[in-house]
Homo-oligomer: A and B are copies of this chain.
Amino acid sequence: MNTDNHRQDVELARCTRLLNHGPVTIVTSQHDGRANVMSASWAMPLDFDPPKVVVVIDSHTLTRRLVEASGVFGLQLPAVAFARQTLAVGTSNGVEIDKFAAFDLRTFRGRQIDVPMLADCVAWFECKVIPDDAQRHDLILAEVVAAYADSRVYSHNRWHFEATPELRTCHYVAGGTFFATGEPFEVQATPPAVTGSSAPQP
């Protein structure tokens, strides 16, 4: 899987849409020559414009230490084809091993932040931490300063996984089990039934 030629900018004001469906994420971080990578299921959008995200990062992790020291992190969405690595970086400890080397992870340098980003993902957010008291709950708030996605599966502000199912995003459950993102469907909002005081009088 090589996504290097497929990374395409996503308009910042619409970029949280990439994360709206609740896929698992991977956080990359770097400070003072030391880098790390961990998966994070608990990440979601917080605001549209400027785009913000919130990620739960345990205070005991190396990632947390690097993120607090540098004030930046990379947040990326792995595809089904990258699930094995997603589990691996989520179940190993960056204090003990260099996970990038150990799991043979290809990286490129962030555009706005000095952090390694994972080449074999399908969407990327470069994030700047918004210092906040919520960190005592392990909630890391951040503004997204750059966003891009793999044009094979995301374009015109829409995901389209049909042609490349191996590039679908995924959703972590527990114990090594994931769900792939399933088929899209569209619904129309039901017009409300006419009831109570808002009923037109006959």
A171 touching B173, Cβ below 8 Å: no
A residues 59-116 touching B (CB-CB < 8 Å): 80, 83-85, 87-88, 91-92, 96-99, 101-104
Residues of B within 8 A of A56 (CB): 44-46
| Count of chain copies | 2
Return the chain B residue nearest A157 by Cβ: B174
On whether the beta carbons of B186 and A177 are closer than 8 Å, the reply is yes
Interface residues of A (CB under 8 A from B): 17, 20-24, 41-47, 54, 56, 80, 83-85, 87-88, 91-92, 96-99, 101-104, 132-134, 137-139, 141, 157-159, 168, 171-174, 176-190, 192-193, 195-196, 198
20 residue pairs A–B, Cβ–Cβ below 8 Å: A20-B172, A20-B174, A21-B41, A44-B44, A54-B54, A84-B189, A87-B188, A88-B190, A91-B189, A92-B189, A97-B195, A98-B196, A99-B192, A134-B137, A158-B173, A159-B179, A168-B182, A178-B185, A179-B181, A182-B183
